[in-house]
Amino acid sequence: MLEASPSQNQNALPYVGLRVVEFTHMVMGPTCGMVLADLGAEVIKVEPLKGDNTRKLLGSGSGFFPLFNRNKKSIALDLQTPEGREIALKLIATADVVSENFKPGTMQKLGLDYQSLSKLDERLIYVSHKGFLPGPYEHRTALDEVVQMMGGLAYMTGRPGDPLRAGSSVNDIMGGMFGAIGAMAALAAREKTGKGQEVQSALFENNVFLVAQHMMQFAVTGEPAAPMPSRISAWAVYDVFTVKDGEQIFLAVVSDTQWTVFCEAFGLSDLRDDVRLLSNNHRVREREWLIPLLRSTLSVHGAAHIGAVFEKNGLPYAPITRPEDLFNDPHLKATGGLASMTLPDGKRAGESTPTVLMPLTLGGTRPGVRMSPPRLGEHTHSLLRGIGYAEKEIQALLEGGVAG
């Protein structure tokens, strides 16, 4: 396992000494645990004997496990056995926080729901990640794409008549983040009251929060928000341009001052002085002829040249970048946004790879990778020993298929 960078004082992380036991899979629940683990908590991932299914996912799911399960320990248990549940209860007895993201009723059947556990420890904080908060929809099975479709995000992302999911697991990831925020709030409350509480986070409600700006646009203006590809932009120049050799670049000119700078940088004094284009609102009204003219004018230049001119003049721009290109992004590399870890599963198991750290600093330092994502059951033996099982008992549990 990789150790933390010597320059990083891991003892300064805010949740050192906090123990979290998580019963999670896929993305939402593991994200919550990753946030707390990155911030110093000891996060114990309870997996079935066959392992979290995301260890084996292909395609777009192949990055789930290695990204969202770093800095965690793994114990493999058969929770369908009394012995497995007894181990889980003993682990929970040592924990500050329990986190889960299984369908409603699953944890109750195991006797590991909040109502059961809070009777054993009133200080326990219990985080449930679900598809929907309690209400008419709570019985439904939810996925990120399901709530994007029913929650307006796919409508806003796609072209009219062609709803399209966002290109990332935005609700799963943010839902897990809100679960972590709720856990932090509950920890702060416990400092005052001495009591824990249940925290709930949900995909659908998270999605509604994401589109709330468009809901409020309607509330304020009375006009429905148009899907992003067909929206009337608040700014005249705010678009992707195809330029020399078919390259693409996003360009933005969002203020009257920037418009003057842009025109002067590209020798467009006639446009700068055109009375039809005096203000941003004027230019928005003239987009029908202005944007095609700018596309034609800029098409003779390469994307690198245009980017250099925009950067020199403090104008907003962006290359169109693929995710895999970000491993070599000079800013991420220079600022410590990437860290090395070892892959636990798959054909590249045991190999080192960069991973992306949380987008924040604490005291000028990015919380890093203290432990690579665990192999299945990597910490089973040490965790069982830590909650009082003798060596012979541990061997019997392993041989009996209760633990792995």
| Torsion of Cα atoms, 58 then 63 then 69 then 74, to 10° | 30
- Name all domains of the chain by residue range, CATH numbers in brackets: 10-211+329-399 (3.40.50.10540), 233-323 (3.30.1540.10)
Distance CA 375, CA 106 (A): 25
Q: List, for residues 273-312, the tens digit of each pLDDT value.
A: 999 999 999 999 999 999 999 999 999 999 999 999 999 9
For the segment 10-32, the average pLDDT, to the nearest whole number, is 94
pLDDT at 7: 40
pTM for the structure as a whole: 0.93
Residue-averaged pLDDT of the chain: 95
Q: CB-based burial of residue 208 (10 Å sphere; 0-12 exposed, 13-18 middle, 19+ buried)? A: middle
Distance CA 84, CA 402 (A): 6
pLDDT at 13: 96
Place of tokens 């890093």: 368
For the segment 381-389, the average pLDDT, to the nearest whole number, is 98
Q: List, for residues 205-245, the tens digit of each pLDDT value.
A: 999 999 999 999 999 999 999 998 887 788 999 999 999 99
pLDDT at 10: 60
Q: List, for residues 92-142, the tens digit of each pLDDT value.
A: 999 999 999 999 999 999 999 999 999 999 999 999 999 999 999 999 999
Distance CA 154, CA 157 (A): 5
pLDDT at 233: 81
In angstroms, the Cα distances linking 297 to 251, 306, 351 are: 13, 11, 48
Q: With bands split at pLDDT 50, 70 and 90, how would you rate the model's confidence at 2?
A: very low
Q: In the sheet that 42-47 helps form, which strands lie side by side, from edge to edge?
A: 72-76, 42-47, 19-23, 97-100, 125-130, 198-202
pLDDT at 347: 84
Place of tokens 């169109």: 320
For the segment 336-341, the average pLDDT, to the nearest whole number, is 96
Q: With bands split at pLDDT 50, 70 and 90, how would you rate the model's confidence at 1?
A: very low
Q: Is residue 30 predicted with pLDDT exceeding 60? A: yes
**Count of Cβ atoms closer than 10 Å to residue 138 Cβ:** 14
pLDDT at 11: 64
Dihedral pair phi/psi, residue 93, rounded to 5°: -65, -20
Distance CA 352, CA 332 (A): 18
Q: List, for residues 43-94, the tens digit of each pLDDT value.
A: 999 999 999 999 999 998 999 999 999 999 999 999 999 999 999 999 999 9
